[in-house]
Amino acid sequence: MSDSAPPLILQSDLTIVLETAHPRFEEMRDGLLPFAELVKSPEYLHTYRVSPISIWNAAATGLTARRVLGFLRQNARYGVPPNFEAEIKAWFGRCGLFRLERDGDDGLVLRCGRPRVLKEVRHDPALAALLADPDLDQGLARVAPAHRGLVKERLVKLGYPVEDAAGYVDGAALAIRLREERAAGGPFSLRPYQVEAVEAFHRGGSELGGSGVIVLPCGAGKTVVGMAAMAAVGAHTLVLTPNTVALRQWREELLDKTDLDPEQIGEYSGEAKEIRPVTLTTYQILTYRRSKDEDFLHFDLFARGDWGLIVYDEVHLLPAPVFRATAEIQARRRLGLTATLVREDGKEDEVFSLIGPKRYDAPWKDLERRGYIATVRCVEVRVPFDSEQRAAYLALSRRSRYRAAAENPRKTPALRHLLERHAGEQILIIGQYLDQLHALQKELGVPLITGRTPTAEREQLYQAFREGREKILLVSKVGNFAIDLPDANVAIQISGTFGSRQEEAQRLGRILRPKADGSTAWFYSLVTEATLDQEYGEKRQRFLTEQGYSYDIQAAEALVEARP
């Protein structure tokens, strides 16, 4: 096929095929990113899928059916299939069809722009139970405030996004100012994309702002965006974080970059139960219960403060039970922060309906080109089994095969070669299996951080790493998120969680902070050749491939001779 041929092949199953060798590959990849998801990424052909959620998120950022279809028509090699065009128009057409508005001081009303559609969806028993006093001729129904989230959640399941214009309670006022003129790292100011992100979320305080998700790569300053949103809202704020380390980092950033006093910031964790104007908590404490048959003990935290804003840090990790509480607090402004909207449990629709749509998304490679995040080289190192190990591997069940391949002992010599190659640099070694990590700790003589490492010890090791007193850290899954290690410039992944794209993005994120000398960072993934380890590795890489990263493939035997 000629290089001048249009690059996109649109298929009737709503997928789009793009040849990686096409001269316009990067242009097309960036054009597809706002409204389509990469689902397959072999070497020569990438396959994207358009879905209702991908279109509704695109609509929330300002894209229109006309622009999307114009892009596709212009670049489709064989034209746009009729059903492809019909579905995209229909999905965009459903945006704004249902709208929640305030009705008096206490009530809510659901309005439907096409009354016959309300008649149709009301046949769903779950939705019908949430609607009161329907006027089907006018396309209206009353909604109890407590059912605000449940109605939105159910309508999304039925294929209709809801525009929530019912507004929010203000919460207790709290003036917060970013002190850009002085911070520990020297003066700072909001970057242009951070300003855009906050404006896209807040929308000047209108009822159409105040809920949604900001998508930025790790190292791009999501916490700063969160603090700027807090300043824009100006109210008591509850911040949910993945773990206690992340909680403490939020506290440090708030004290460093805002004018808040220590007494205004509370910690609600396993170690303290403080409720202050700004309260920091963790997903773990919110989902704590004594047994599976008992209620969650701390869900009342959502109601115990007069919150004007709730921030969900790393919202892609939001535990399923917290969605239940989130459905009940739709009158509070809600901000989700994440590097990826990918959820391995498939609950992207619940994030959309209960936290809000994607309000802002900055492509990783664009931020890299502008110098806001580090340039990264990604390398997949393929390590062979020896003949005995391969025979044993083939005799195992599929699940056992993956772990056997992930813990291949021949990864250790390859790891040593990489450590020699990057001697003197700040290196993170990240793995999934504790036995493997403990064995490496003994062999390499470097510190290991796992979920069982006490918080105080973790913080001491992280600080030693930041100061260069420790050059290498071994970390388990706790290293996947919420670690602020700006000088880390090499990450070596020795094992991962099956095909988790979310995890791959988070692990790469550990080294994305721009380096003081502008140097390149390195992300290595050690996989056992021709096994499930390699197969799952390719699946993990899919999200980063969508963002524009490519993986150099290198045989372990070549490490000795190879040089960066």
- The pLDDT, as a whole number, for residue 415 is 97
- Confidence band of 41 (pLDDT split at 50, 70, 90): confident
Of the pLDDT bands very low, low, confident and very high (cuts 50, 70, 90), residue 564 is very low
Q: What is the pTM of this model?
A: 0.88
The CATH fold of domain 98-165: Alpha-Beta Plaits (3.30.70)
Q: What CATH number does the domain located at 192-362 have? A: 3.40.50.300
Compute φ and ψ for 285, nearest 5 degrees. -70, -35
- Assess whether pLDDT exceeds 60 at residue 207: yes
The confidence score (pLDDT) of residue 193 equals 96
Tell me, what's the pLDDT at 444?
A: 96
Q: Is residue 535 scored above 60 in pLDDT? A: yes
Rounded distance between C-alpha atoms, residue 428 and residue 221, angstroms:
21
The torsion angle over the Cα atoms of residues 248, 250, 252 and 258, rounded to 10 degrees, is -150
- C-alpha–C-alpha distance, residues 560 and 524, integer Å: 15
pLDDT value at 143 more than 70:
yes
pLDDT of residue 181: 57
**What pLDDT shows up at residue 185?**
55
Range of weakest confidence among 43-47, 51-55, 291-295, 511-515: 291-295
Question: Does position 557 have pLDDT exceeding 80, yes or no?
Answer: yes
C-alpha 423 chain-centroid distance:
32
Residues 387-437 have pLDDT tens digits of 999 999 999 998 899 999 999 999 999 999 999 999 999 999 999 999 999
Output the pLDDT for position 2: 55
Residue 342 in contact with residue 543, Cβ under 8 Å? yes
The reported pLDDT for the residue numbered 548 is: 82
Q: In this predicted structure, which of 72-86, 123-137, 330-344 has the lowest mean pLDDT?
A: 330-344
Residue owning tokens 């970013």? 178
pLDDT of 3: 64
CATH fit for domain 371-558, picks 3.40.50.720, 3.30.9.10, 3.40.50.300, 3.40.30.160:
3.40.50.300
SS3 483: coil
Helix (H) or strand (E) holding 146: none
Residue that the structure tokens 């920091």 belong to: 280
What is the reported pLDDT for 243? 87
How big is the chain, counted in residues?
Answer: 564
Q: Where in the chain is the domain with CATH 3.30.70?
A: 98-165
In sequence order, the 6+-apart residues with CB closer than 8 A to the CB of 370 are none
Spell out the residues 6+ positions from residue 29 whose beta carbon is closer than 8 angstroms to its own: 18, 46, 546, 548
| DSSP, residue by residue, 254-300 | HHHHB---GGGEEEESSS-B---SEEEEEHHHHT--SSTTSPPTTTT
What is the model's pLDDT at position 289? Answer: 82
Confidence of residue 298 (pLDDT cuts 50, 70, 90): confident
Q: What is the mean pLDDT of the chain?
A: 90
DSSP string for residues in 325-347: HHHT-TTSEEEEEES----TTST
Residue 482: is its pLDDT beyond 70? no
pLDDT > 80? residue 291: no
Written as one letter, the residue type at 54 is S
- Position 563 confidence tier, pLDDT thresholds 50, 70, 90: very low
Angle at CA of residue 563, ends 412 and 529, nearest 5°: 40
User: Taking residues 84-111, what's their average pLDDT?
Assistant: 93
Region class of 69: left (phi > 0), else alpha (psi between -120 and 50), else beta: alpha
- The position carrying tokens 């664009």 is 366
Question: Residue 438: pLDDT band by 50, 70, 90 thresholds?
Answer: very high
What does the buried/exposed string (b/e) look like for 296-311 if buried means 16 or more CB atoms within 10 Å of the residue's CB?
A: bebbebbeebebbbbb
Residue ranges of the chain assigned to CATH 3.40.50.300: 192-362, 371-558
Beta bridge partners of 212: 335
182 or 169: which leads in pLDDT: 169
| Helix or strand holding residue 486 (H, E) | none
Per-residue model confidence (pLDDT) at position 202: 96
Lookup: tokens for 298: 């701390």
Least confident of 259-273, 275-289, 313-327, 388-402: 313-327
180 vs 285, which has greater pLDDT?
A: 285
> Predicted confidence band at 201 (pLDDT cuts at 50, 70, 90)?
very high
Q: Distance between CA 164 and CA 102 in Å, rounded? A: 10
pLDDT at 407: 96
pLDDT classification of 497: cutoffs 50, 70, 90:
confident
3-state SS of 200-247 is HHHHHHCCCCCEEEEECCCCCCHHHHHHHHHHHHCECEEEEECCHHHH
State the sign of the Cα–Cα–Cα–Cα dihedral 260, 372, 198, 100. negative
Tell whether the model's pLDDT for residue 125 goes beyond 60. Answer: yes
Report the pLDDT averaged over residues 478-497: 81
- Cβ–Cβ under 8 Å, residues 414 and 443: no
Q: What is the pLDDT of residue 321?
A: 85
CB distance 278 to 291 below 8 Å: no
* Integer CA distances (angstroms), 390 to 217, 400, 405, 406, 440, in order: 38, 13, 9, 13, 22
Give 3-state DSSP helix, strand, coil % of the chain, rounded to 5: 40, 20, 40
